[in-house]
Amino acid sequence: MTAELLNWILAITTAVLSLLLYAWTKRVNHLEREKLNEDSDDYIRGILNSSTDGIITTDQSGQIRSFNMAAQFMFGYQEQNVLCKSFLFLLPKLIRKEHEKIMSGGSPESDTLMGVNYEIMGRKADSSEFPIKLTVRPINDYGNKGYIGVFRDKSADSQADVEKQKTREMIEYLLQTSPIVLYTRKTTGSLPVAYVSPNVEKVFGYSPADITTTAAFWPQLVHEDDRDLIKPDLKALRRNGHEYIEYRLKLPDGGLRWIGESRTVINNEQGKPYQIIGTWTDIHQEKVARLQTALTVERLDISLKCADMATWDWHINSGEISWSENICEKLGRGADQITNFDLFTSISHPEDNEALQAAYKQCLVKDEALDHEFRVNWPDNSIHWVHMKGEIINNSGGSPVRMAGVVFDITKLKQLRAAPQPIAKIA
């Protein structure tokens, strides 16, 4: 065998071994890439399945390549049942054609919709439709072009929006119909009212625009004798957090109405008051009734003092008795010492106690007025004569529930009657 032949054989052998080594190395690299791809796919799949949004990937024609767990839960399909299908079957039939044109690039919106959030309706496995927010982006996986879509179920948001709208409508209805007017303003008196509820025009006759235009509008409507009351007492507000005042307000027709104003202070982050939330309420009828009641009570007190009498009111079922403030002058005790019927009868003279109780009992049995005289033991051991008169007050069923009347001291009268009278001389 010649040297030349040996060289040819060696060259051929080397070439074959090189080809075999190259093929083996390429196979090993291919297997490693497949392993890496599998690991990468598992990693990506794990990430996608951990998302709370539905994530779907498709090829360039819209055929589904992956369908994460959130998408399966959202649409009601298992992944194996949707792979290689067009994603359009997840949309209602009425909008499929338009989205098919967008996916195919046949619509001018194709490029502008990429990466943009837009809201459409989705279609579940049970054929029910629900609102979703969709974001679509193009992807390029080693030359394999396609799309990734992120779906977010808007059903809960839609329900929340409905509830918010209902709440807003309810608040607006309350603000329109409530007899209480709400307002907000800064604590600085030079600034006008920032907000006033729309019912102010119905309650007081002035529009919200009238009141919020200038700071002087509302104060100039207040009766001149009450204007000092409406200035916010910031010290009291800081100390108590709120305050309440009552004053007279001039209405558009020139009349005056009593209103009650309640204020609550809102502090800023530094703890300083910066805003007041308040209410205005028409209390005219209540205030006038209170003033008239106070006047009546004042007149009654004067009358009782002039007549030297006290009043009493016995609640029969509970036994409680209330007295006028001057009762101590008649019974020698304050109203807080004789708060019920038993305490009252216990202060009578022992010889008169039985007759006193019998007189009250007779009034209840025969439904007649009380007119009785008896003696009272005072704490200083003195004895005083009193005369009590009263009327029974029945309920709607005709049963006695209260007895009320007056009591006056007749001690001097009794003493005059008991004193010996001078004998008249016969001419």
Which CATH number belongs to the domain containing residue 95 in this structure? 3.30.450.20
The predicted structure's pLDDT at residue 36? 47
Q: Check residue 223 and give its pLDDT.
A: 93
CA-to-CA distance for 267 and 239, rounded, in angstroms?
12
The answer to whether residues 336 and 391 belong to one domain is: yes
Buried (b) or exposed (e) across 247-268, using 16+ Cβ within 10 A?
bbbeeeeeeebbbbbebebeee
Domain presence at residue 301: no
Answer yes or no: is 346 within a domain.
yes
Residue 3 in domain: no
Q: Do both 270 and 221 map to the same domain?
A: yes
In a domain, 400, yes or no: yes
Residues 182 and 153 in one domain: no
Note whether residue 253 is domain-resident.
yes
Stretches in the chain below the pLDDT threshold 70:
1-47, 98-116, 141-143, 158, 188-190, 234, 304, 421-427
182 and 266 assigned to the same domain:
yes
Q: What's the CA angle centered on 275, arms 272 and 276, to 5 degrees? A: 120
Residues 204 and 258 in one domain: yes
Residue 88's Cα: distance from chain center in Å?
46
Q: What pLDDT is stored for residue 20 in this prediction?
A: 61
Question: Can you tell me whether residue 37 is helix, strand or coil?
Answer: helix
Q: Using the 3D structure, point to which of 228, 256, 288 is the last residue of a domain.
A: 288
Looking at 101, 127, 158, the residue that finishes a domain is 158
- Number of domains within the chain: 3
Sheet containing strand 256-267, strands side by side = 195-196, 180-186, 273-282, 256-267, 242-250
Over the Cα atoms of the chain, what is R_g?
48
Closest by CA to 246, choosing from 279, 211, 197, is 279
133 and 103 in a common domain: yes
Do 105 and 151 belong to one domain?
Answer: yes
Please tell me the predicted confidence (pLDDT) of residue 238. Answer: 73
Inside any domain, residue 22: no
Structure tokens at 51: 């998302």
The vertex-161 CA angle with 156 and 163, nearest 5°, equals 95
Q: Cα–Cα distance between 367 and 377 in angstroms, integer?
A: 29
CB-CB contact of 345 with 319 (8 Å): no
116 and 187 fall within a common domain: no
Given this model, what pLDDT does residue 216 score?
85
> What is the average pLDDT score of the chain?
82
**Residue 189, amino acid:** G
Question: Would residue 302 count as lying in a domain?
Answer: no
Same domain, yes or no, for 386 and 320? yes
pTM: 0.48
Distance separating alpha carbons of residues 29 and 245, to the nearest angstrom = 89
pLDDT of 426 reads: 52
Sign of the CA dihedral with 57 first, then 58, 64, and 66 last: negative
Residues 58 and 106 in one domain: yes
Same domain (yes/no): 74, 154: yes
Range of the domain at 251: 178-288
Q: What is the DSSP letter of 421?
A: P
Q: Would residue 364 count as lying in a domain?
A: yes
Cα gap 291→296, rounded to integer Å? 9
Predicted local distance difference test score (pLDDT) of residue 33 = 56
Q: In this structure, are 315 and 277 located in the same domain? A: no
